[in-house]
Amino acid sequence: MTHLCKETLVAVVNGQLPGPAIEVREGDTVAINVINKSRYNITIHWHGVKQRLNCWADGVPMITQCPILPNHSMTYRFNVTGQEGTLWWHSHVPSLRATVHGALIIRPRHGAASYPFVKPHREIPVIVGDWWQMDLVQLNKELKNGTYEYNATVAATINGKLGDVHNCSGKIEDGYVLEVEPGKTYLLRIINAALTSEYYFKIAGHRFTVVAADANYVNPYTTDVIAIAPGETVDALLVADASPAGSYYMVAQDIQPPITDYTEPKLIARGTVRYQSSNNGGEDEAPSSSDVPMAPEMPGLHDRMVSFYFHGNLTSQHRRSPVPTHVDDRLFVTLSAGSVCRHGQSCKRRGNIQESIILVTMNDVSFLLPTAAAAAPLLESHYYYGQNKTATGGGVDLHTLPDRPRKKFNFTDSALIHHGPKEERLEPTERAATARRFRHGATVEVVFQSTAVMQSHYNPMHLHGHDMFVLAQGLGNYDAARDVARYNVVDPPVKNTVLVPSLGWAAVWFVADNPGVWYLHCHYEYHASMGMATVFIVDDGTTADSTLPPPPADLPKCGHNNNLTPNELNPHVGKSDVSYINIV
Ligand code: C2O
C-alpha cells in the first residue's frame, strides 16, 4: 500500500484493510478458514469471544496453538452464545495485527428488534487504527530485544484511511466518508485496533449515545466524545440531527503523555459525515470548494481526565451473569517497567540500551515463553500432562505469578517518572513464563496498579476467555481500606479489556469458569511484546460440561521452522509451584 508517498509491504486479509467484517447472530456456530498466503506465521484471535470449552480456538501462538505456517491453513470453529455486540478479530502474532484485523459483529438471535435501544437505520463499523511504515515483524523483534529506537507510526486511520489532515507533495490522503440521511439513527460500532494509542473520537456538531462496550450492553450514556483504548470496542448511536446543508469532520486523535513526561508523535485521522439530501442524489455529489466541513473541538492533547470520566461513567444493563457475592482469590498486580542485562554481566540503567533490555512487568516479572514451549503450545502441555493426567514426557516449566508485588514502594510517586537513583534501584527485573492457576468456578479479584516507573503509560489489560466486572478505578495508589467501599457491585460494566489509568488502578472480578490456558496481557502492543503478560490456567470442573474437550483434529502441529521460538530464559527466577505442568 502507498500512503504519504511511501510504498509499504503489508499483510492483509482478502486484500482489504480493515479486513472483512464477520457478521453473525447470537447462538451461531462460526467456521472460518484461514489460508495463510503471507510470508509470516499467523494465528487469528477472536477478541472477546469467550470460547467456552473451546480454548483450542483462541488463536494465541504457542499458548493455545502452533501457528499456521506460510502456505498452510486452518479452520477455526467456535460459537457465539450469550454474547451480543461488537467484537473483533486480529492476528495474535505480535504487531501484525496492525493490518490483520476486522470487526466481528454479533447481532441478537431475533434481529435488530431486540436491541435494548432504538432500532438503527444502519450499522457502521468504525475501526480506528494506525499506519506504520516499517516491517511489523521486525518491529516486534526490536521491541523484544530492546533495540527499538524510534517510533515509526506516522498516522492514525479511520477504516483504513488517514484523511485530509495528511498530505505529501500536495497529494491529500483519502478520508473515510459516512453518508447519512437527515433525522436517521446510526449505530457506530467503534473498535480501537491500533497498536499503541488510546484515542478520543468526535464528530463535529453531533453527540453520541453509548449503548454497549466490549459486546456488553451499558445504560445509555450521552456524550460528545468517546475515549477508546487498544482492544476496546464502543457501540454508540449517532442521530443525524445537524443541519443537512453542512458537513462534519469526524476525528480520531491519540491521547498524549503529560507534557513534562516525554513526547510521542501526534497521531490523527480525519473523516467526514455528509448528509444526503433528497434533491442532490447524495453519494455522487462532489463537495464544492466552499463546502468546508465543521471541525470538532477535541479535548486537550494531554488531557487524560476525559477518558477517566468516560470509562467511569459506564454501567451495565441486561447483564447475562450476576455480579459475584464473594471472592475466592485475590491478586494485586503492579504494572511496571525494569531492565535485564543483555549479556548477563552487571549493567547500568535502562536508558543505556547497549547493555540492558528494557522490559515491562506484572508483579516484577516480565513474561517470556519457556524455551520448551517452542515444541508444543502451553495448552497442549496442560491438556496432556497437566493436573491429574498420567501421561509423561512433555510439559514445560512455568512460574507462579506472585499474588503481590515483591517490590513495595510508593507506586505512583512522581519522582520515579524521571530516571534517577530512586528509580534505578527498582529497575533490575527478571524474565520468566508466569502463570496462575484457578479452581474451576473460583471468583477472582484482580487489582491492577500502574506505577510511575512506567512513566505515564496507561494499560488496557485484556483477559482471554472471560469477561471482567469492572468494579472501580482510581488515581494514585489503591487502598483496600478506602477503595473497596467504592466498588460498584450493582451495575458494573462488563469488559474483556479494562483500562488501567496512568498512575492509577482498576479493580475487577471475574469467574474462572472456562477451563483452559488463557492469555492475560496489555493490549498496548509494545507492552505485550516487552512482557506485560501472564497466563491464567483454569482447571476443569467435575462434570463433562465443565471439562475442556480434546483438541480438534486439524489443529496445526509445530514445525521446526517456527520463527516464534522464544529466546533466553532468565535464570534468576526460582522453580515453579505450578508444577503439574512441569514434567520435563
Ligand atoms: Cu485482542 Cu490477546 O488480544
Ligand 1 centroid from CA 45, angstroms: 7
SS (H, E, C) 56-116: HHCCCECCCECCECCCCEEEEEEECCCCCEEEEEEECCCCHHHCCEEEEEEECCCCHHHCC
User: How far is the C-alpha of 32 from the C-alpha of 27, rounded, in Å?
Assistant: 16
Q: In Å, what is the CA distance from 517 to each residue of 52, 283, 526, 531? A: 12, 49, 22, 17
The residues spanned by each domain of the chain are 2-312, 329-369+404-544
Check residue 354 and give its pLDDT: 66
* Alpha carbon nearest to ligand 1 atom 3, residue: 47
| Residues belonging to the chain | 584
Ligand 1 centroid from CA 393, angstroms: 31
User: How far is the C-alpha of 370 from the C-alpha of 274, rounded, in Å?
Assistant: 53
329-369+404-544, CATH topology level: Immunoglobulin-like (2.60.40)
β-strand pairing of 208-213 with 233-239: antiparallel
Within 386-519, residue ranges assigned H as helices are 421-425, 480-483
Ligand 1 centroid from CA 528, angstroms: 10
For residue 175, the number of C-alpha atoms closer than 13 Å in the C-beta half-sphere is 22
- Residue indicated by cell numbers 479493580: 507
Here the cell at position 520 is 492475560
β-strand pairing of 208-213 with 268-275: unpaired
Is the minimum distance from the CB of 519 to ligand 1 under 6 angstroms?
yes
Ligand 1 centroid from CA 340, angstroms: 26
Domains 2-312 and 329-369+404-544 share a fold: yes
Is the minimum distance from the CB of 437 to ligand 1 under 6 angstroms?
no
Ligand 1 atom index nearest CA of 519: 2
Is the minimum distance from the CB of 92 to ligand 1 under 6 angstroms?
yes
Residues 6+ apart with CB under 8 A from 281: none
Query: Residue-wise pLDDT tens for the chain (584 aa)?
Result: 999 999 999 999 999 999 999 999 999 999 999 999 998 899 999 999 999 999 999 999 999 999 999 999 999 999 999 999 999 999 998 789 999 999 999 999 998 889 999 999 999 999 999 998 888 877 777 777 767 665 677 899 999 999 999 999 989 999 999 999 999 999 999 999 999 899 999 999 999 999 999 999 999 999 999 999 999 999 999 999 999 999 999 999 999 888 777 777 789 999 999 999 755 444 555 554 447 999 999 999 999 999 999 999 999 998 899 999 999 999 999 999 988 887 665 666 555 566 778 889 999 999 988 765 556 889 988 888 775 554 444 567 788 999 999 889 999 998 888 777 888 888 888 888 999 999 999 999 999 999 998 877 889 999 999 999 999 999 999 999 999 999 999 999 999 999 999 999 999 999 999 999 999 999 998 899 889 999 999 999 999 999 999 999 989 988 644 443 332 222 233 333 333 343 22
Q: Which CATH class is domain 2-312?
A: mainly beta
User: How far is the C-alpha of 355 from the C-alpha of 185, rounded, in Å?
Assistant: 57
Ligand 1 atom index nearest CA of 464: 2
Ligand 1 centroid from CA 462, angstroms: 6
Ligand 1 centroid from CA 171, angstroms: 35
Is the minimum distance from the CB of 462 to ligand 1 under 6 angstroms?
yes
Give, as one character, the DSSP assignment of residue 11.
Answer: -
Q: Is the pTM of this model over 0.85?
A: yes
* Alpha carbon nearest to ligand 1 atom 1, residue: 47
User: How far is the C-alpha of 111 from the C-alpha of 196, rounded, in Å?
Assistant: 35
Q: In Å, what is the CA distance from 398 to each residue of 2, 61, 496? A: 44, 17, 24
Give, as one character, the DSSP assignment of residue 289.
Answer: T
User: How far is the C-alpha of 120 from the C-alpha of 105, rounded, in Å?
Assistant: 15
Pair 511, 324: CB distance under 8 Å = yes
Which residues are bridge partners to 350 per DSSP?
Answer: none
Examine residue 116 and say whether the peptide bond preceding it is cis (omega within 30 degrees of 0): no
